[in-house]
Amino acid sequence: MLGIYVHIPFCESKCNYCAFASFVAKSELQKKYINFLLNEIKNCPHGGDKVDSIFIGGGTPSCIDKKYIKKILEAIKEKFDVIENAEITIESNPNSLNLEKLKFYRRIGINRLSMGVQSLNDKQLKQIGRLHNKKQVFEALKNAKKSGFKNISCDFLLGLEKSNFIKIKSMLKSVKNKVKHLSCYMLQVENGTKLEKMLQEKKIVLPDEEKTIKVYDKIVKYLKRHGFERYEISNFAKKGYQCLHNLKYWTRKNYIGFGLSAHSLYKNKRWANANDFENYFKGNKSYIETLTKDKIIEEIIMLGLRCEKGFSIKEIIKLGYDIIKNQNFNDYLKKNILIRNGDKIKINPKFYGVNNYIIANIL
């Protein structure tokens, strides 16, 4: 079944580390954007397909007028065959949520709430330019529960200043019984961000990557002890609460993205919308690519190794690539860096921290 992604590129302010397509914009631009977005959905040539997941992401979808969210869902339901009980997620920030808004989201069918928490230390939050504080996180979680949200996810950032396992563990401990899903991402210093400048000017000192990888390994064990299984490098879920939508990306299922910079994969064709407003409003794409066999093989290996399930050797061989002859692949198997379980190959969890390096060497 198809997944639908909708990009809302607006935020109340720009976080210091953010390199996503997100902008602080006036209400006129938001209105114009939503109209284009609704048209894009209406004119999609793949209408009628069965849909089992919708993900409204951003940016910060919870910061725009809630009536726009309703219109977007209506447009999707009119165009596609959205199944009953489809997973419908909205991304949010704690400071842009309140009880009334959350109840409204539930009423219009949203059943999964993803919240950008990042840290529960007010000093760290301020340093990375977040607008919320710890108190607002717990307020939002309380209101989400009151509104009837059962499927809640929180995002955390690893590698912030003065961060260590004890501190992160205590943050996770305070939310673990209130959520079903956790995402723990490594802080990346992206080019052109305020964070990069802060580092250059020595206004911030970040722990080195090796230290953060060690913290990550301990977090994996801690979360496992508390019922959160890792199913992708950065994602952990209680049984039955893996994010169906994100799984589509990692298992190469069809999905269509609407909105600025949104990506799509449909029957082995990938494309992405333009990532600036001018070109998006003209209907331009930033790329369109029909995937070759080699590219498909590469994707299956790369995405499979990010996930707990790994990839299937048979599938790769069926596509015409005899991976058994790949020298690096065999070396990794011998060294137990890759693990074979029947037909499936996955990375030894001890090496998740360096997965990019391993994948690059195989490919």
Please, which of residues 19-38 interact with ligand SF4 by CB under 6 A? 20, 22
Per-residue HEC secondary structure of the chain comes to CEEEEEEECECCCCCCCCCCCCECCCHHHHHHHHHHHHHHHHCCCCCCCEEEEEEEEECCHHHCCHHHHHHHHHHHHHHCEEEEEEEEEEEECHHHCCHHHHHHHHHCCCCEEEEEEECCCHHHHHHCCCCCCHHHHHHHHHHHHHHCCCEEEEEEEECCCCCCHHHHHHHHHHHCCCCCEEEEEECCCCCCCHHHHHHHCCCCCCCCHHHHHHHHHHHHHHHHHCCCEEEECCEEECCCCCCHHHHHHHCCCCEEEECCCCEEEECCEEEEECCCHHHHHCCCEEEEEECCHHHHHHHHHHHHHHECCCEEHHHHHHCCCCHHHCHHHHHHHHCCCEEEECCEEEECHHHHHHHHHHHHHHC
Let me know if 156 is exposed, middle or buried by CB neighbors in 10 A (0-12, 13-18, 19+): buried
Q: Which stretch binds ligand SF4 (CB under 6 A): 14-22, 160-168, 214-222, 268-276?
A: 14-22
**Nearer to ligand SF4 among residue 79 and residue 245 (C-beta):** 245
Q: Which stretch binds ligand SF4 (CB under 6 A): 9-17, 31-39, 188-196, 285-293?
A: 9-17
Contact map string, positions 84 to 123, toward ligand SF4, x by CB under 6 A = ---------x----------------------x-------
Please, which of residues 285-324 interact with ligand SF4 by CB under 6 A? none
Q: Which of 1, 18, 313, 363 binds ligand SF4 (CB under 6 A)?
A: 18
Count residues binding ligand SF4 (CB under 6 A).
11
Q: Which stretch binds ligand SF4 (CB under 6 A): 7-15, 69-77, 103-111, 287-295?
A: 7-15
| Distance in Å, CB of 19 to ligand SF4, minimum | 8
Tokens 């210093």 -> residue: 189
| Distance in Å, CB of 361 to ligand SF4, minimum | 31
**Nearer to ligand SF4 among residue 68 and residue 311 (C-beta):** 68
| Distance in Å, CB of 350 to ligand SF4, minimum | 30
| 8 scored as a contact of ligand SF4 (CB under 6 A) | no
Please, which of residues 148-187 interact with ligand SF4 by CB under 6 A? none
CB 83 within 8 A of CB 51: yes
Q: Which stretch binds ligand SF4 (CB under 6 A): 18-26, 141-149, 183-191, 340-348?
A: 18-26
| Distance in Å, CB of 311 to ligand SF4, minimum | 30
| Distance in Å, CB of 299 to ligand SF4, minimum | 25
Beta-carbon contacts of 79 under 8 Å, excluding residues fewer than 6 positions away, are 41, 42, 44, 47, 48
**Nearer to ligand SF4 among residue 273 and residue 310 (C-beta):** 273
| Distance in Å, CB of 116 to ligand SF4, minimum | 6
How does 225-254 read in b/e, with b if 16+ C-beta sit within 10 Å?
A: eeebebbbbbbbbbeebbbbbbbbbbeebb
Q: Which stretch binds ligand SF4 (CB under 6 A): 8-16, 106-114, 144-152, 189-197?
A: 8-16
**Nearer to ligand SF4 among residue 79 and residue 121 (C-beta):** 121
**Nearer to ligand SF4 among residue 139 and residue 308 (C-beta):** 139
Contact map string, positions 51 to 90, toward ligand SF4, x by CB under 6 A = -------xxx------------------------------
User: Site residues (CB under 6 A) for ligand SF4?
Assistant: 11, 14-15, 18, 20, 22, 58-60, 93, 116
